[in-house]
Structure 1
Amino acid sequence: FFVVTLHCFLIFQLNNEEGTTLIPPQKVAGEQRGSMISASFNFINSIIGSGIIDYSIILLIKGGNLSGTNSYQSLVQSTFGFPGFLILSGLQFLYPFIAMISYNITTGDTLTKVFQRIPGVGPDHILAERHFVILLSTLVFTLPLSLYRNIEKLGKVSLLSMVLTLTILVIVIIRAATFGPQIPPTENAWAFAKWNAIQAVGVMSFAFICHHNSFLIYGSLEQPTLANWSRVTHISVGSALVISAAFAVAGYTTFTGYTQGDIFENYCRDDNLATFGRFCFGLSIITTFPLECFVTREVVSKVICSRDLSKAEHVAITLFIVAVCTSVSLGYDCLGVVLELNGALSATPLIFIIPSACFLKLSPGRWFQGENLIPTILIILGLFVMITGLIMTGLYPQDCSHGVEMFYCADANISSTVPPV
């Protein structure tokens, strides 16, 4: 209800401001601009790989207009000076970087089970080893895609990711109807909120954010006006809202209290339909990874180089980012804790605190009056979620299945018409 309300308010606000023009980003020589369709696919891919956009994107747009800036970094620097710029840059680097780690963890967990459905590939086979699968996917797919200099070139890749996402959604809905009744019930599975709900808010913050690359995708538009950006936002938010809500309902309805951080860890290994879903999910995650790498590299170039990167610098920084990210993901495999930490530590400030703080400093009037009321509430909410979420994650980390077959799979009847991959 909260997300739907914010979505409707977002559309109302942007429709009222479609005549406003943001300061156009500087176009780099030789850089290609993309269409609204390409930008929409990139934005939806970012939102679904990294979640749903919320009200604070309005504050970013308004803040950009009030300060005469055209990026998240320049908005914060003009509002809070260089210290604010450094804090934002650190968070903007940390969020997509941890996201890439989570994507690698998901790839390792997911594709190893896919490969084990190939005849002759058992638990001891090299293709069933998550470390090898992560390295293979990095070298063959994510690194080459991450080396692109122009984000518009990922538009077709993002379209593929969208098609895969819709396929996965159909599979999850089918399994909710066919496999859900076989899962043992859990006590208080439908309670509105439990003691660890704050940790869930952190995970949702991780899922909802796309602020770190909103200006970047806005800048890829062929005609970067607020009217065009408004249309891209409507398409992206509406699509992502429906898809994410459907995933949430179908996934939790199936497994309730047994739901894992990676929902495909809940499905049994001999489920052919789920195996096909895992394959689509792994490929979708691989195609989302480069978008986050674009952001981390952009932050590094702005903070360290303060200019456009040369080809050699571009390759070197990309290799370093991907190498460190892959190294961390090889040593840690608990997805739930990664999502919780990223949500509380980096996503929450980027969503709730910083955009609201910038708007309040730029906007006249008292904090708790008029249009300043909602930003003030968002700051208070963000601080509470950030502090409480970090404490709860440290004291009560989420359990992980670590690739172990779920207990209910021993007696489950999950015949499928989909042949083994």
Structure 2
Amino acid sequence: ANEEAATLIPLSGNPGESRRSMISATFNFINSIVGSGIVGLPYALNQAGLPFGLLLLIAVGFITDYSIILLIKGGELSGTNSYQSLVQSTFGLPGFLILSALQFLYPFIAMISYNITTGDTLTKVFQRIPGVGPGHPLADRHFVIILTTILFTLPLSLYRNIARLGKVSFFSMVLTLIILIVAIVRAATLGPEILPTEDAWTFARLNSIQAVGVMSFAFICHHNSFLIYGSLEKPTLAKWAQVTHVSVGSALFISAVFAVAGYTTFTGFTQGDIFENYCRDDNLATFGRFCFALSIITTFPLECFVTTNVICNQELSRYKHLALTTLIVTVCTSLSLTFDCLGVVLELNGVLSATPLIFIIPSACFLKLSPGSWLQGEKLLSIILIVIGLFVMIIGLTMTGLFPQDCSHGVEMFYCPNANVTGTAPPV
């Protein structure tokens, strides 16, 4: 939930503040990476197989690390200080339009995933309230999505100054750490009670490419790179490389722990939203659901701010901002009501928008701006990343269309005490 929530910590600007600026930048970068996509990572391991999924997760982490550094190198070569200006300087108006479309698509689909997750998680939270059960409005995911949109996400999205929303960054980070602790505790206490599925420890599975899409969604942070780079005291590529390595490495460790904890608990039963796997009467999981729902509700407006800014990159009047924001939130909410499975949304956002933003565009910019032969050094590696990115996009989109993943939204899993009352999710 923190993809757009990174808030730069003010620096004094004194020459002796270089180390502090690097620590601050590292914190902000970790915060911008570890977000809502983390709850889909156990599902990614379910798609790819645990051993191969972990290898893919590490690979995506390394590629993210490398492409972020390439992005800043491209900025240095072109004399630009933002992702948009870099692409426009390198590929002109067509490149700028493609990037703008991707930068709109990513947060827009992310908002849809936030609404789906809000409906999934809060319905189970509300059902812990006495008197709220199946058939009650608060147990209806469509009603909950519409209610939270009207009461929270739309009003917060109408703020015209994003700085007023920036304080959610640290708050969301704390909530994410709480969710991580919940997953670890339940892996130790609930995991032994659920028999692993027959192919739980298979090395690799057919849907590995779709898993890369989910992982790419979780790791994308390139839109914040120039902003955080500029926060360094006397920024250099050497400092930036150090900040990037520590930040991405830390985020990779947190993500891997969460993914493994979630998957080993439920193995082949793992769903796109890991909280759908926990039982309705699990109080610790209910607390985790509440924390996660609160985190994404407060981050939704930040994603909405990005979409409005991409559509109209200028100061809007109060009434135009009201109309545009309301339209975006309404369309987003309407689409989120038509999807039950979070995994499909994460896969689509990963292969359609996150993959080109991570794999393809930074590499293409560096290729065009850097002198020398394309068949040596970093330029050859950039070509490899572009090929990998195109492969993931084409195969991932095809696999998602041909083999959409099922989910058992709102149904108690068979291992839950009340499964015989609320229905049983069929074993995978």
The TM-score bracket by the shorter chain reads 0.7 to 0.9
Q: Deviations over 1:315-341 (max 9, x none)?
A: 332222222111111222211111111
Matching residue of 2:375 = 368
How far did residue 197 of structure 1 move? 0.8
Matching residue of 1:248 = 259
Change (3 A) 1:166 1:130: same
Amino acid at match of 1:350: L
Change (3 A) 1:147 1:46: farther
1:381 is aligned, of 383, 388, 402, to 388
Matching residue of 1:44 = 31
- The answer on whether the counterparts of 1:36 and 1:222 sit within 8 Å (CA) in structure 2 is no
How far did residue 240 of structure 1 move? 2.3
Matching residue of 1:94 = 105
Amino acid at match of 2:413: M
How far did residue 229 of structure 1 move? 6.3
Aligned partners of 2:114 and 2:325: how far apart in 1? 16
1:229-378 matches, within 5 Å, as 233=244, 236-302=247-313, 307-378=314-385
Amino acid at match of 1:88: L
| 1:331 alignment partner, SS class | coil
Amino acid at match of 1:49: S
Change (3 A) 1:363 1:35: closer
Matching residue of 2:149 = 138
How far did residue 378 of structure 1 move? 0.6
Aligned partners of 1:148 and 1:366: how far apart in 2? 49
Does residue 162 in structure 1 map to residue 173 in structure 2? yes
Does residue 407 in structure 1 map to residue 414 in structure 2? yes
Matching residue of 1:112 = 123
Aligned partners of 2:271 and 2:376: how far apart in 1? 42
Change (3 A) 1:77 1:45: closer
Aligned partners of 1:300 and 1:224: how far apart in 2? 33
Deviates more, 1:226-235 or 1:152-161: 226-235
Aligned partners of 2:66 and 2:232: how far apart in 1? 25
Q: Deviations over 1:188-243 (max 9, x none)?
A: 21222111111111111111112234345667x59794588667656643442232
| 1:325 alignment partner, SS class | helix
- The answer on whether the counterparts of 1:38 and 1:155 sit within 8 Å (CA) in structure 2 is no
How far did residue 154 of structure 1 move? 3.0
Q: Deviations over 1:262-293 (max 9, x none)?
A: 00110111111111111111111212222322
Change (3 A) 1:381 1:71: same
Amino acid at match of 2:31: I
Q: TM-score, normalised to structure 1's length?
A: 0.82
- The answer on whether the counterparts of 1:161 and 1:284 sit within 8 Å (CA) in structure 2 is yes
Aligned partners of 1:107 and 1:189: how far apart in 2? 29
Amino acid at match of 2:333: T
Aligned partners of 1:224 and 1:323: how far apart in 2? 44
- The answer on whether the counterparts of 2:22 and 2:243 sit within 8 Å (CA) in structure 1 is no
Aligned partners of 2:156 and 2:65: how far apart in 1? 28
Identity of aligned residues (%): 75
Amino acid at match of 1:262: D
Deviates more, 1:224-233 or 1:146-155: 224-233
Change (3 A) 1:371 1:236: closer
Deviates more, 1:255-264 or 1:53-62: 53-62
- Gaps of at least 5 residues in structure 1 are 1-18, 20-33, 413-421
Change (3 A) 1:55 1:290: farther
Matching residue of 1:73 = 84
Query: Number of residues paired by the alignment?
Result: 375
Change (3 A) 1:411 1:124: closer
Aligned partners of 1:354 and 1:324: how far apart in 2? 28
| 2:150 alignment partner, SS class | helix
RMSD, aligned α-carbons: 2.7
| 2:337 alignment partner, SS class | helix
Aligned partners of 1:309 and 1:239: how far apart in 2? 38
- Gaps of at least 5 residues in structure 2 are 1-14, 16-20, 39-60, 420-428
- The answer on whether the counterparts of 1:46 and 1:288 sit within 8 Å (CA) in structure 2 is no
Aligned partners of 2:29 and 2:115: how far apart in 1? 20
Amino acid at match of 2:110: A
Aligned partners of 1:111 and 1:202: how far apart in 2? 26
